[in-house]
Copies of this chain bind each other. A is one copy, B any other.
């Protein structure tokens, strides 16, 4: 795999000059084409042997192209706020907008490379890391983020010579970092770790390119050529989704629900207070410092999501929670994978994030209203399961509620809203239109619940014709989940 790069090929100076002029012109043009079309973004992962000149090459790339449309990001060990979220959180947060280029140092390959570089790597751990990497890149590629990965490589001899040369003069000796010195001793192990990591993750939709790095000119031209090829790509790659779950049996849960249940006023007042008390105690408990709570509220219009949410937040300290009301995505959100705007809102430990509508819009309104092609929303089930799996793995307790009403009750509430001078803002022509599509929405909801119900992020279908019953049910589930998991 590295044999060619380890011959340390050299590009003669005069050839470099010709190449430089051609490449700079072509790169700029390709960059502006991408910016204008803005049909995707390009993410360049930079990795390789320390001291291979990654940093200098990326500096040069910024000089050759228009740096205003390139975002270079570099990640070290996770900060406290990052350690409390899924490991991919910080990469999601920084995804570039369509039309732009992102360059990533210290990428999501770190755990995989670290494991592979151990004396006795664990095969299962390796495979798990590799699976996560592939799933992430597949999701990016399928959602308009083109990914290429550069591995900077040179021979052990060239590496040692470079270090020696730099150390020989005070003008350059500072360029040798402690990591560079380590490489000399551990070259063999790093090399075989890289071999493992690259083999596990070289996929057509996110290929690895090995850049021979002993010679600066060669390294530069090879990098530029690779980026140019990527920018000139036409058409999206075929992504083989690694984790499309088998289609489960879809039952009509909405039709089978008992809509007659209700709670009496007295019973309600007492139980509400008691449940809120248990909730308040749970989120104040020191055990909650290692967890977060993510609550998703979906349901038909006028099913009472807002009221149910307020009964939850009454028990919380205002400093502890955030409510995210979700409506149609803004332009800068549309210019990124659809999960991006939700990743940005996931809570740190000790906090509660409440979503009033959510990422499930992808398989509900976007499906029914045909905003998104079928391949995309069908793929979303797997992507969402993966997202929630990551949330749960990082300590989040995830609960999802569908508040269900019957058409006649919805009609009553619509009419009541229209008649009230301070509630009529809640009802729009859209609501009436959606009502016409009752069954398509119900079908979408049933399929969604069947395909995204999981032990770590369960769906709770709530009978909501009686508001009091619905509010108590929501609180019961939240309290139960917290008390059993803390």
Contact A174 B281 (CB under 8 A): yes
The segment from A10-18, A156-164, A202-210, A318-326 that touches chain B is A318-326
Residues of B within 8 A of A59 (CB): 310, 313-314
User: CB < 8 Å: which of B76, B79, B171 contacts A277?
Assistant: B171
> Which stretch in A64-72, A384-392, A450-458 binds the other chain?
A64-72
User: Number of copies of this chain in the oligomer?
Assistant: 2
Residues of B with C-beta under 8 A to A278: 174
Task: Please name all residues of chain B whose beta carbon is closer than 8 Å to the beta carbon of A313 when the two chains form the complex.
Answer: 59
B81 contacts A318, CB within 8 Å? Answer: no
Q: Does A273 contact B (CB under 8 A)?
A: yes
Within the assembled complex, what's the spacing in Å between the Cα atoms of A32 and B425?
A: 10
Q: Which of A20-28, A118-126, A362-370 makes up part of the contact surface?
A: A20-28
- In angstroms, Cα B220 to Cα A432, docked, is 33
> In the assembled complex, how far is the CB of residue A331 from the closest CB belonging to chain B, in whole angstroms?
10
Which of these, B74, B171, B318, contacts A317 with CB under 8 Å?
B74
**In contact, A105 and B319 (Cβ under 8 angstroms):** yes
Which of chain B's residues has its CB closest to A172's CB?
B273
User: Does A56 count as interface, using CB distance less than 8 angstroms?
Assistant: yes
Residue of B nearest to A68 (CB): B325
Contact with B along A71-98 (1 / 0, CB 8 A): 0101110011100000000000000000
A422 interface residue per 8 A CB criterion: yes
Q: How far is the CB of A288 from chain B (nearest CB, A)?
A: 14
Complex Cα–Cα for A278 and B172 (A): 11
Cβ-defined partner of A274 (8 Å) among B62, B75, B170: B170
Among candidates B54, B317, B422, residue contacting A24 with C-beta atoms closer than 8 Å:
B422
Q: Please report the C-alpha to C-alpha distance between residue A325 and residue B68 in the assembled complex, in whole angstroms.
A: 6
Q: Are A319 and B171 in contact (CB under 8 A)?
A: no
B318 contacts A58, CB within 8 Å?
Answer: yes
Report if A169 contacts B (CB, 8 A): yes
In the assembled complex, the Cα of A320 lies from the Cα of B272 at a distance in Å of 51
Measured CB to CB, the closest approach of chain B to A466, in angstroms, equals 20
- Does A3 belong to the interface (CB within 8 Å)? no
**B24, B27, B81, B274: the one within 8 Å of A81 (CB):** B81
A310 surroundings in chain B (CB, below 8 A) = 59, 62-63
Q: Are A319 and B421 in contact (CB-based, < 8 A)?
A: no
Assess whether B56 is in contact with A314, with CB atoms less than 8 Å apart: yes
A55 within 8 A of B: yes
Beyond the given pairs A54-B318, A171-B269, 13 more chain A to chain B contacts, judged by CB atoms under 8 angstroms and listed by A's residue number, are A28-B422, A28-B425, A55-B318, A64-B422, A67-B306, A67-B325, A74-B319, A76-B319, A79-B81, A81-B81, A170-B274, A174-B277, A177-B317
**Which 8 pairs across A and B sit closest by C-beta, in order of nearness?**
A171-B273, A24-B422, A74-B319, A174-B277, A74-B318, A25-B421, A174-B280, A68-B325
24 contacts between A and B (CB under 8 A): A21-B422, A24-B422, A25-B421, A28-B422, A28-B425, A56-B314, A63-B310, A72-B318, A72-B323, A74-B317, A74-B319, A76-B319, A79-B80, A80-B80, A81-B81, A169-B273, A170-B274, A170-B277, A171-B272, A173-B277, A174-B276, A174-B280, A174-B281, A177-B317
